[in-house]
Amino acid sequence: MVASSGLAEGKTPREGWSSRSAFILAAVGAAVGLGNLWRFPTLAGENGGGAFVLFYVGCVFLLGLPLVVSEIFIGRTGQDDAAGSIRKVAEKSGVSKAWAGFGLLGVIAAFLILSFYSVVAGWVLYYVGVLGGDFLGAIGSGDLFRGALPGESQEMIQGRMGDLFANPWLLLAMHAIFMGVTFTIVARGIGSGIETAATVLMPMFFILLVGITIYGAFVGNLTEAVAFLFTPDWSKLTPQVMNTALGQALFSLSLGVAGLITYGSYIKGSAGLGPTSVTIAFADTGVALIAGLMIFPIVFAVGLDPAAGPTLVFQTLPFAFQTMPAGALIGFLFFVLVLVAAVTSSISLLEVPVAWGIGEMGWSRPKSTMIFGGSAFLVGVACLLGYNVWSDVRLLGFWSLFAETDILDTIDGFTGKVMLPLGAFFTAIFVGWRADRKLVEEMTGLSGFWLSLWRFLIAWLCPLAVGFILVTGLFPEILGS
């Protein structure tokens, strides 16, 4: 840890990444997670494929990438929690400190996202258990390289998700374990733990992902999957679909909730933010598209409905592992690595409110972790009860957008469609119009053409496009549709 340069007035030295590549790895680790492997395929399926996917990719590079630069800029300049960092940039730029308010909005959003993120990660954990047990069985039978879940019918494999949802205690146990792990890592601080995990495990994850995708392409229906994912039917691009795609781009890049402000604040020394941000955006989008190419060939091969919703991913992958040579082993490994990807993301989600508690409330790290981790756990419990005991509850039932969504989907949808775009909008206005230009130039390391391009995107395109998508997505009546 290089903490010497981070001495803030009279406080203990603030923690920091050991190097620039450590920051990139941690940021990629935060970006790559259930957003890519679960949320992206789910939404691509629900929103009709091609048009959604291409619009999403457009959002990543035209709106997301400039915002990545902006959030890291704020954090790196401010060297404080989300609100504190914004306040410092405002101070140095001679504008109102009230801008820190959107930092608080982000803190609340990150907290809400964490609550359901942990529940979904709990499903992954359950599949680690299922496939781990199956792999032990393979060892026991002396056939180490057999496929997963031998002899299980399609109904049995798909039915497992329903059984899990009907069992609140099992859901609760998985959610508790996952939140416990997240909690433990964050309570220890930004140490070498996260960095090492990201360095070793993320490359391993990537290799396995590509391998399974190639395999799936052979056994599944690749042509149909590619057509579904990349042939746009623009008539499907309704305002709501655009809103969802924008929200997904922001979610996947960890934007709009001060995630990258917080991680950026642990950067010590210099960093060219352009290349760093491009790396994050490419790695993240690459993993999402590969995940789509892994899952949809199987969806079509086994005749599932692409619009099956949040259970889609879990109901398709086991089929690939069933027929795959050594599928029992690979399936087990795969879910372990998905879990790792989820952990490197969930810690960043918890870190946002925890850093806020430390910076703004003066709490110790353990206390702040306890307060936010504990309450996010409780909100998560409400989410998982929404699948059984509270399945009739509609949190925002008065609002047509959320009239039919269960608790988890409502929190997911509200944060993704409303809070993330709002956070992105304020970030763009703040950095594009209020932050001191010299400071921006100096701290982003951008110059010449790239600086001008970035400035145009962040000052004009982002606020206009995000504002338009947000307003028309939430109030489609405006367009008369």
Q: Which stretch binds ligand TRP (CB under 6 A): 34-42, 357-365, 452-460, 465-473?
A: 34-42
* CA-based max dimension of the chain: 71
Q: Is residue 272 a contact partner of residue 443, using CB atoms and an 8 Å limit?
A: no
Three-state helix/strand/coil letters over 90-101: HHHHCCCHHHHH
**Residue closer to ligand TRP, measured from CB, 241 or 288:** 288
Q: How far is the CB of 251 from ligand TRP (least distance, A)?
A: 5
Q: Which stretch binds ligand TRP (CB under 6 A): 3-11, 31-39, 64-72, 321-329?
A: 31-39
The closest residue (CB) to ligand TRP is: 35
What's the angle, vertex CA 95, arms to CA 91 and CA 96, rounded to 5?
Answer: 90
Q: In the chain, count of helices (H) and strands (E)?
A: 22, 0
Interface with ligand TRP includes 78 (CB under 6 A)? Answer: no
Interface with ligand TRP includes 281 (CB under 6 A)? Answer: no
Q: Which stretch binds ligand TRP (CB under 6 A): 67-75, 247-255, 268-276, 431-439?
A: 247-255
Q: How far apart are CA 53 and CA 294, in angstroms?
A: 15
**Residue closer to ligand TRP, measured from CB, 251 or 356:** 251
**Residue closer to ligand TRP, measured from CB, 243 or 322:** 243
- Interacting residues with ligand TRP between 112 and 171 (CB under 6 A): 113
Closest CA to 82 of 257, 252, 272: 257
**Residue closer to ligand TRP, measured from CB, 47 or 238:** 47
The one among 6, 35, 49, 64 contacting ligand TRP by CB under 6 A: 35
SS3 18: coil
Tokens of 355: 């850093």
- Interacting residues with ligand TRP between 313 and 352 (CB under 6 A): 345, 348-349
Q: How far apart are CA 376 and CA 426, in angstroms?
A: 25
Interface with ligand TRP includes 36 (CB under 6 A)? Answer: yes
**Residue closer to ligand TRP, measured from CB, 407 or 420:** 420
Interface with ligand TRP includes 244 (CB under 6 A)? Answer: no
Q: How far apart are CA 292 and CA 247, in angstroms?
A: 17
**Residue closer to ligand TRP, measured from CB, 328 or 347:** 347
The one among 34, 68, 229, 355 contacting ligand TRP by CB under 6 A: 34
Q: What is the DSSP string of 388-453?
A: TTTTT--TTTTSGGGTT--HHHHHHHHIIIIIHHHHHHHHHHIIIIIS-HHHHHHHH---HHHHHH
